[in-house]
Amino acid sequence: MDLQPGARLGDRYHLRQRLGAGGMGEVWLAVDEVLRRTVAVKAMLPEVARDPDFARRFAAEATAMARVNHPAVASIHDYGSSHGVAYLVMEFVDGESLSQRLTREGRLAPDVTMRLVADVAAGLAAVHDQGLVHRDIKPANLLVRRDGTVVITDFGIARHEDASLLTASGAILGTPSYLSPEQVRGEPAGPRSDVYALGLVAYECLAGERPFTGDNPYAVALQRLESSPRTLAVAVPDPIRAVVARALATDPRERWPSAADLAAAARANTTLPAAASPVHAAVTTPPAGRVTSGKPRHRALVAALAVVVLGLGGFAAWFTLADGNAGNADAGNGGGGAAEASSGAPRAGLDSPGTGSAPAGFAACGDALCPAAPLCWAGTTTIGGEAMPIRSLDCAADHRWETIQAVPLPPGEIDLDTLIEQPAVAAACSAAVLAERSRDPAATENWNLHAWPIERDGVTLVHCLTGSPDGESTGSRVQP
C-alpha cells in the first residue's frame, strides 16, 4: 500500500498530510474518523517491516509509550496493521520540534531553557519509573506545544532495563551527537544516559550550538570520551551552569541521581532572584594562580569552592559542578567527603602553614607526602571548559584512581596536560615510585600514572594518581 493523502489505515484513520519521515517510517497528520479527532500516525515503511528486528522495535515503541501516563510524554491511542502497513497512532502535538525552534531562534534564554529541561526531565522520570530508558533524547524528538510545554516522542529505541537489545551484539543505538559516554563505549544505557542527553540538549539551547563538533557524527560521539564540552560562550547564571554541568558529567555516578532530581534543580532555577544569580561572563585568575588545560578551546580553571544553594530542600551544587550524589556522604577515606580541586586554596609545602607538620591525612616521606590512609577517587574530568573537582570514593568500592603520594602545587600557571611532566611532579609520580609504594608491584607495573590538583581541608596538593589501564578497580593497591 502506498501512503498518500486520502489513504485510510484500519478503515479508520484518514491520512491528510505527511509531517515527516525517518529511517523507520513516516509520520502523518490524520483524522480518526470514529472519534472525530486529529491524530498523528506513524507508519512503518514496508521494506523496514520485513526486518523482524525493526518490526519488534516498532511494536516495542507502542508498548513503551502506552505504559507511560504523563503530560510530557506523547499519548498512544492505537496500534495496528493495515494492508501490510504497521502503524502507531498517537496524540497530535500542535506545535513544532525543539530542533525547528532552535533553527529559527538560534538559542533560548536561560529561564526558558530551565523550564523546558524541567518539563522533559519530569517526563523522563515517569518513563524511568516504568523501567524504561528512552536512549534517544534530542531536540528533534522533543515537541514544543504552542503554550511552551514540551512532549517527548519517538520511543523507537526505548528499552526496558531488564530487556535484551533488539540489535546485533555490539551495535550502538541512538543519535551519535547525543549519545552518552557509556553508550559510545558500547555499554548499556541507563536512566542517567537520558540525563546526559538532556544535558546536551540544555547546552545547545543555551549556547545555540552543540558542545561537541567534528567532521562526522561518530567523530563527535568519540570526542566525549577524550575531551570536555566546549565552554559556554554566553552569559548564563552560575546556578544554571551548574545544573547543566552536573548533567554532563562523564561518569554517570557524578550526574544527577535521577531525572526527577534534574527536574527539581531546573525548576528551582526558572525564576532566580538577581542577588542569587551571578552571571558567569568571564573567568578571572584566582590570587593563588591558575590551573589550565592546554587542549585547544579547553583552557580550564580549577574552580573556587563557592557553594551555590539551589533551594532544593537539601540539594546543593558546587560553583561549577554539583557533588556526585547530593546529600550522600562518601565514606571509607578517613572521613573525606567530596574533595575539591581549588586553585584558590592555600598551597602546601611539606608543612602546613603555621602548623609545623604535614597536612592532615598525610605524613612526610622523603620529598613528598604519603597518605596516612588509602585515598581513592572517581575520574578526573573537565566540564564546560572548567576543571571539575574530583570526587572522593571508598577504596573498597569501584574507583578510577588512587593516590600514591602528593607534592606541593607548583606556583604560577599550570597546564593540566603537562603537569605530570614538571620536574618535581614527574619525580614524585614516576613508575619507580609506584613500584616502591605498591602492595603488588608486578600487578601494577603497567598501571596508568596521572597528576591532579586536589584540595582537602583547605590545602591544595598535586596528587600522584595511579589507575588500572582496564578502567575501574576495587581495593587499595598503595601502601599507606
Which are the catalytic amino acids? 136
> What are the Cα distances from residue 393, in Å, to 226, 246, 376, 426, 434?
23, 17, 5, 25, 20
- Tell me which residue of 382, 426, 395 sits closest to 291, measured CA to CA: 382
Of 218, 173, 178, 182, the C-alpha closest to 200 is: 178
C-alpha to C-alpha distances, 180 to 83, 142, 222, 262, 453, nearest whole angstrom: 39, 18, 10, 16, 27
Cell numbers at 437, concatenated = 609504594
Alpha carbons within 13 angstroms on the beta-carbon side of residue 184 total 21
At residue 172's C-alpha, the angle toward residues 212 and 246, to 5°, is 45
CA–CA separation, 144 and 165 (whole Å):
30
Quote the DSSP letter at residue 264. H
Identify the residue whose cell numbers are 505527511: 18
- How many Å apart are CA 25 and CA 7, to the nearest integer? 16
Is 42 a known ligand-binding residue?
yes
Separation CA 14–CA 4 (nearest Å): 10
Residue ranges for the known binding site for ATP are 42
Which residue numbers belong to the known binding site? 42
